[in-house]
Amino acid sequence: MTNYLDFEKPLAEIEGKAEELRAMARANDEMNVEDEAGALDKKAADMLRDLYKNLTPWRKCQVARHPERPHCRDYIEALFTEYTPLAGDRNFADDLAIMGGLARFNDTPVVVIGHEKGKDTQSRIEHNFGMARPEGYRKAIRLMEMAGRFGLPVITLVDTPGAYPGKGAEERGQSEAIARSTEKCLQIGVPLVSVIIGEGGSGGAVAFASSNRLAMLEHSVYSVISPEGCASILWKDAEKMREAAEALRLTAQDLTRLGIADEIISEPMGGAHRDASTTINAVGEAIAKMLDGLSSQSPDELIQDRRQKFLNMGSKGLAA
């Protein structure tokens, strides 16, 4: 059963009517409803195209958060072979919000790290909705250090509303762990490529996305703060999230123009959740392209490339 977003409610009615007709036909062999159902399908396809033709930043946030979008686990299972998960930060605990380990990508040994939100209520609670605690970032640091030691490219899949803001996380050094993870991204002498597959929220995303190359799915978002959080601070009203989303310039299209993101990965019409396999394959092709472009660089060149990328940020404007 499809989960429809608020702005998709008219579409839900049409697709629901088409399914009702087909259900009636399945119950009665003498009924022939294909002409009527086909007409509704065409109307739904046209409406879907119109809805997604020019999404506002706030609607893109809603699509990026869709619960049925493919998550980190889906990408790892589909794109990587011989995946061996590695657990724990060797200090406090294992953080299930962060997946990571050794794997092969196109038969090349790599380290893959990503945020996992979970698919249902139980798994979302288990993975803390993709909000990592300090031990999650320290696990990522451990994996990146291992990648640097053995010369393995690092691939990160970013999908988090932000780092977990709980009392225990703060007591265990949340901000320090995020800063150390960001620092480690900038230090390692191996190719580091990142893909924003859903939400790229705050420092919790930057800690994995300080990479040589950053790709974003077409309807993903990447921002220093959520629209609701921004609206609460600036206007003392979380309901102004639409205005905040516009001001934050958090879409893949704006961030590519600003030089933050390097590539936009197209999504199927209606978003990644409507055709997960096509989306996953497109992400795989983008990762392969980014890694190929970095393969000839030495460790020093990779570090300098990453440094220069971040020094250049702010030099482009939206009018450029």
Closest CA to 63 of 287, 285, 279, 281: 279
Contact 70, 112 (CB under 8 A): no
Band (282; pLDDT cuts 50, 70, 90): very high
How buried is 134 (Cβ within 10 angstroms: 0-12 exposed, 13-18 middle, 19+ buried)?
Answer: buried
Pairing of strands 213-217, 154-160: unpaired
For the question of whether the overall pTM of this predicted structure is more than 0.85, the answer is yes
Banded pLDDT at 257 (limits 50, 70, 90)? very high
Please choose, from the candidates 173, 169, 228, the residue with its C-alpha nearest in 3D space to the C-alpha of residue 199.
228
**pLDDT greater than 60 at residue 320:** no
Q: Going by DSSP bridges, is the β-strand pair 221-223/192-201 parallel, antiparallel, or unpaired?
A: parallel
Structure tokens at 181: 């993870």
Q: Map tokens 């620092």 to a residue.
A: 183
Q: How far apart are CA 63 and CA 57, in angstroms?
A: 10
Tell me the per-residue pLDDT of 46-63, one tens digit each, with 9 for 90 and over: 989 999 998 999 999 999
